């Protein structure tokens, strides 16, 4: 039996890669420095995996920016705007960021999505249902596949040099040809994507041959789209592809993860390859079928150590789940994590501030390797009894833990009458009452919540956290900030105010820190894209609110103005989707608990005189399951959680929601079912084109399609914004239209924010006149 790994985090224990990259991009470090840091991380990762007893270790799981970009440069899929005579790493950085250090000072600091000498960066998309973003490959009619970047072969040589004894070997990881093509965007259009498969396969064959020549025996070919619902054309592409690739001596392990195989089960079992890796955590319900159907003379790799979450594996349960596979496959059964460990933090050992009880329930990438080894040893008849007993004890302790389970929260959830979760009156009646109460003009203007987070604000928060200033000093500084943004909104002439969120570092962390059942790590970073990492909170237990979280600030803000002040909360689904979530109860249940805590906050805000309350559901769409047939259930409980949060308020209290995207076509009915009085969405980037969803479906309530893109420092003109509002007014009656930016303004400066909002208010005023 072989113990292997599919991928290890490349950021380093303390984000060393991030700092090295950013220093290189800023011109503070040379390429040689960057390469040395990268080599050190790879070396350390190899050593960590060897020490843990991993026998087949991944190579090419390292990337300076992104593994999909690695494939593009390897295959020569480099858009013309970046091409030059000889390939170098700066080309990859331009493809990812629109610029490289040698493009001195052109483009914006953020680097992404901006024009530069080299051309605009490639688009980023989420890697399946993770929070990792890849650079979308662009296929033009003149794209020619050709081995271009030799980094893969160098890293393979570097790894093979470490192979001192016979027990370890290295396994390069590639994104499979079918998944690669599926994820690529066809920009040229003249050549259908799938008709490029033969040319693409020819280059994959060359790559595999080179690897074979280097002495490689196994290659892992990631084909996660096997977890999607594929049509016959894409299914056939798999057969074509792997028949072609079977010509090479090197053995292929096709890896699928994040989902069951569904209807692709037969296909996966019949692929002419040496082995298959299967994610038995996400794919638990199809494991038995797969074990029965997969040919015993081939390798079946099973992942029961979850690469997507931070909980200790229940080794006893996993051993039971593996019994049949062990009996059938014997040494052809391989053991691995469920997917690449890229999606979990690196090392639990470095955490010093976690509650020791909670820490004992957790496992990060490094610890997951030990779990894989523990599991495999036990299957091999060489159980580490002490470690198994410790594992079993942690699992039993957690089930009975007072830290995790809170009877009061559970009783409250049990009592929840799910049939009584609607607002008392339908929207039309509410709208009439709200109109009389707020007396807003046509095209009311507002913003999404945050205002520019100046260095000063950040510093004050930091000083307070460190204890350098007193609570009273902190409060005074934040209140001064709130007074300032109120004065500015007054001056600009905005109709509905916000307090600006100066007290919030992050829209999830701010609430998570105040809720019970949430924990935060010191170093639990996970790569999001390029050098950007996020530190998702951990929801470990029943969630409850001890005291109001936002009322103090909102109430103070309301006291500064006669205009309505919007209360501002992050929604339950977003809180859930941006956290590591407990795995001992359905996500729906955890979501309901957060929603109930937020419901209390909503009611407290209302009682404190805040009669417009916005609940942000920025991440609702990204939580959609990978298989479309699972969408309905997710959307059902997502909508329900919004109702739990909002249904307690009076008819004349106005509920808003905000979503940071505009692809609504396939979820518009659920969004309407949330029944927010007003929704603000992103639309300006696509020129309102994305309001398409509203052509066939009449969104019944009020809506604020963003009229300017907050990601850009550009100041939109009055005319531009009038143009956009007029476009929107063709689809949505003017009485139900709001005027606002795309999203929160916290990443912007006041220099551009004030003139942009001034123009926005002018645009609304002009339109009001026109209509009158």
Q: Could you give the residue numbers annotated as active site? A: 711
In the range 618-637, which residues lie near ligand GLN by CB under 6 A? 618
Chosen residue from 512, 746, 753, 762 binding ligand GLN by CB under 6 A: 746
**What is the pattern of x (binds ligand GLN, CB under 6 A) and - over residues 705-744?**
--------------------------------------xx
CB atoms within 10 A of CB 468: 12
- Residue 507 interacts with which of ligand GLN, Zn ion, none, CB < 5 to 8 Å by class: ligand GLN
**CA 384 to CA 374: how far, in whole Å?**
7
Q: Starting at the edge strand that comes first in sequence, how are the strands of the sheet with 654-659 ordered?
A: 566-570, 612-616, 654-659, 678-681, 702-705
- Residue 568 interacts with which of ligand GLN, Zn ion, none, CB < 5 to 8 Å by class: ligand GLN
Chosen residue from 566, 658, 685, 711 binding ligand GLN by CB under 6 A: 658
Q: Which two structure tokens, joined as six digits, stand for 448?
A: 């999404």
Per-residue DSSP letter, 441: P
Q: How many residues bind ligand GLN (CB under 6 A)?
A: 13
457 near ligand GLN, judged by CB under 6 A:
no
C-beta of 371 vs 501, nearer to ligand GLN? 501
743 near Zn ion, judged by CB under 5 A:
yes
What are the beta bridge partners of residue 173? 220
Q: How far is CA 745 from CA 59, 349, 719, 748, in A?
A: 41, 37, 21, 5
500 near ligand GLN, judged by CB under 6 A:
no
Closest distance of CB 244 from ligand GLN, Å:
44
Q: How many residues bind Zn ion (CB under 5 A)?
A: 2
Per-residue DSSP letter, 450: B
**CA 531 to CA 515: how far, in whole Å?**
30
615 near ligand GLN, judged by CB under 6 A:
no
508 near ligand GLN, judged by CB under 6 A:
no
681 near Zn ion, judged by CB under 5 A:
no
**CA 88 to CA 105: how far, in whole Å?**
20
- Cβ-based neighbours of 200, under 8 Å, separated by 6 or more: 75, 145, 177, 180, 181
Chosen residue from 12, 449, 536, 537 binding ligand GLN by CB under 6 A: 449
Q: Which two structure tokens, joined as six digits, stand for 305?
A: 């150590």
Closest distance of CB 711 from ligand GLN, Å:
11
Q: Which two structure tokens, joined as six digits, stand for 628?
A: 């479309």
Q: Which two structure tokens, joined as six digits, stand for 374?
A: 């523990």
Chosen residue from 660, 681, 691, 722 binding ligand GLN by CB under 6 A: 660
**CA 726 to CA 39: how far, in whole Å?**
55
- Pairing relationship of beta strands 678-681 and 654-659 according to DSSP bridges: parallel
- Residue 348 interacts with which of ligand GLN, Zn ion, none, CB < 5 to 8 Å by class: none
8 A C-beta contact, residue 197 and residue 240 = yes
8 A C-beta contact, residue 181 and residue 195 = no
C-beta of 482 vs 660, nearer to Zn ion? 660
- Residue 652 interacts with which of Zn ion, ligand GLN, none, CB < 5 to 8 Å by class: none
**CA 215 to CA 171: how far, in whole Å?**
11
660 near Zn ion, judged by CB under 5 A:
yes
616 near ligand GLN, judged by CB under 6 A:
yes
Closest distance of CB 56 from ligand GLN, Å:
41
Closest distance of CB 491 from Zn ion, Å:
25
Closest-approach residue to ligand GLN (CB): 744
322 near ligand GLN, judged by CB under 6 A:
no
What are the contacts of 758-763 at 24+ separation with CB within 8 A?
758/492, 759/715, 759/716, 759/717, 759/718, 759/721, 760/445, 760/707, 760/708, 760/716, 760/721, 761/445, 761/492, 761/493, 761/494, 762/718, 763/707, 763/718, 763/719, 763/721, 763/722, 763/725, 763/739
448 near ligand GLN, judged by CB under 6 A:
yes
C-beta of 448 vs 565, nearer to ligand GLN? 448
**CA 209 to CA 219: how far, in whole Å?**
11
704 near ligand GLN, judged by CB under 6 A:
no
Closest distance of CB 413 from ligand GLN, Å:
27
C-beta of 303 vs 744, nearer to ligand GLN? 744
**CA 268 to CA 293: how far, in whole Å?**
10
Closest distance of CB 679 from ligand GLN, Å:
12
Closest distance of CB 748 from Zn ion, Å:
13
- Residue 116 interacts with which of Zn ion, ligand GLN, none, CB < 5 to 8 Å by class: none
- Pairing relationship of beta strands 124-126 and 133-135 according to DSSP bridges: antiparallel
Of the listed pieces 375-383, 443-451, 472-480, 683-691, which binds ligand GLN according to CB under 6 A? 443-451
Torsion angle of the four alpha carbons 480, 741, 622, 372, in this order, in degrees rounded to the nearest 10: -40
- Pairing relationship of beta strands 515-519 and 678-681 according to DSSP bridges: unpaired
**Residue ranges binding ligand GLN (CB under 6 A):** 448-450, 501, 507, 568, 616, 618, 658, 660, 743-744, 746
């Amino acid at each position: 039996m072989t113990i292997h790994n599919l991928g290890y985090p490349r950021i380093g224990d303390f984000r060393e890669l991030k700092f090295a990259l950013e220093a290189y991009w800023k011109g503070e470090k040379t390429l040689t420095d960057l390469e040395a840091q990268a080599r050190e991380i790879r070396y350390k990762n190899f050593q960590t995996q060897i020490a843990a007893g991993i026998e087949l270790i991944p190579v090419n799981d390292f990337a300076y920016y992104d593994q999909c970009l690695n494939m593009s440069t390897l295959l020569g899929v480099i858009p013309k705007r970046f091409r030059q005579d000889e390939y170098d790493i700066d080309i990859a950085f331009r493809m990812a960021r629109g610029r490289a250090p040698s493009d001195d000072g052109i483009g914006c600091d953020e680097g992404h999505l901006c024009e530069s000498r080299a051309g605009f960066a490639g688009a980023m998309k989420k890697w399946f249902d993770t929070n990792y973003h890849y650079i979308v490959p662009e296929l033009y009619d003149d794209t020619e596949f050709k081995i271009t970047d030799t980094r893969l072969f160098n890293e393979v040589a570097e790894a093979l040099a470490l192979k001192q004894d016979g027990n370890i070997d290295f396994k390069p990881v590639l994104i499979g040809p079918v998944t690669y093509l599926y994820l690529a965007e066809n920009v040229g259009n003249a050549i259908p994507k799938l008709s490029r498969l033969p040319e693409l396969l020819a280059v994959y064959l060359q790559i595999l041959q080179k690897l074979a020549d280097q002495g490689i025996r196994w290659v892992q070919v990631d084909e996660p789209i096997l977890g999607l619902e594929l049509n016959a054309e894409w299914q056939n592409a798999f057969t074509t592809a792997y028949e072609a690739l079977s010509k090479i001596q090197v053995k292929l392990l096709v890896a699928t993860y994040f989902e069951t195989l569904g209807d692709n089960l037969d296909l996966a079992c019949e692929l002419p390859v040496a082995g298959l890796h299967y994610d038995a955590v996400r794919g638990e319900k199809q494991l038995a079928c797969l074990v029965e159907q997969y040919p015993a003379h081939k390798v079946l790799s099973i992942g029961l150590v979850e690469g997507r979450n931070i909980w200790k594996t229940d080794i006893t349960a996993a051993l039971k789940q593996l019994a049949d596979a062990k009996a059938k496959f014997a040494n052809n059964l391989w053991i691995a994590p469920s997917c690449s460990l890229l999606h979990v933090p690196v090392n639990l050992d470095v955490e010093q501030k976690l509650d020791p009880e909670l820490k004992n329930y957790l496992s990060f990438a490094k610890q997951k390797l030990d779990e894989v080894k523990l599991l495999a040893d036990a299957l091999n008849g060489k159980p580490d009894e002490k470690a198994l007993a410790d594992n079993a004890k942690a699992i039993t302790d957690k089930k009975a833990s007072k830290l995790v389970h809170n009877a009061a929260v559970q009783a409250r959830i049990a009592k929840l009458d799910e049939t009584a979760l609607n607002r008392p009156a339908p929207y039309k009646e509410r709208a009439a009452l709200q109109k009389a109460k707020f007396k807003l003009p046509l095209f009311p203007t507002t913003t999404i919540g945050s205002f520019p987070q100046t260095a000063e604000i950040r510093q004050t928060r930091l000083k307070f956290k460190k204890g350098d200033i007193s609570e009273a000093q902190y409060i005074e500084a934040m209140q001064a900030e709130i007074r300032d943004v109120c004065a500015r909104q007054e001056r600009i002439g905005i109709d509905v105010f916000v307090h600006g969120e100066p007290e919030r570092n992050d829209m999830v962390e701010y609430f998570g820190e105040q809720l019970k059942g949430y924990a935060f790590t010191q170093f639990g970073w996970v790569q999001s894209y390029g050098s950007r990492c996020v530190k998702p909170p951990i929801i470990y237990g029943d969630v409850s609110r001890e005291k109001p979280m936002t009322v103090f600030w909102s109430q103070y803000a309301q006291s500064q103005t006669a205009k309505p002040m919007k209360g501002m909360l992050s929604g339950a689904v977003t809180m859930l989707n941006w956290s590591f979530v407990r795995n001992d109860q359905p996500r729906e249940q955890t979501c309901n608990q957060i929603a109930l805590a937020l419901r209390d906050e909503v009611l407290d805000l209302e009682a404190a005189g805040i009669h417009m309350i916005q609940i942000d559901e920025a991440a609702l769409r990204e939580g959609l399951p990978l298989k479309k047939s699972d969408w309905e259930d997710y959307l059902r409980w997502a909508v329900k959680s919004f109702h739990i949060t909002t249904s307690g308020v009076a008819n004349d209290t106005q509920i808003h929601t905000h979503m940071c995207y505009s692809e609504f076509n396939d979820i518009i009915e659920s969004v309407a079912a949330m029944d927010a009085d007003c929704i603000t969405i992103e639309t300006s980037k696509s020129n309102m084109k994305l309001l398409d969803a509203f052509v066939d479906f009449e969104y019944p309530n009020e809506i604020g399609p963003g009229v300017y893109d907050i990601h850009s420092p550009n100041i939109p003109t009055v005319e531009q914004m009038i143009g956009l509002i007029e476009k929107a007014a063709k689809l949505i009656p003017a009485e139900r239209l709001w005027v606002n930016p795309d999203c929160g303004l916290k990443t912007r400066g006041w220099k551009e924010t004030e003139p942009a909002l001034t123009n926005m208010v002018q645009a609304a005023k002009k339109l009001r006149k026109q209509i009158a």
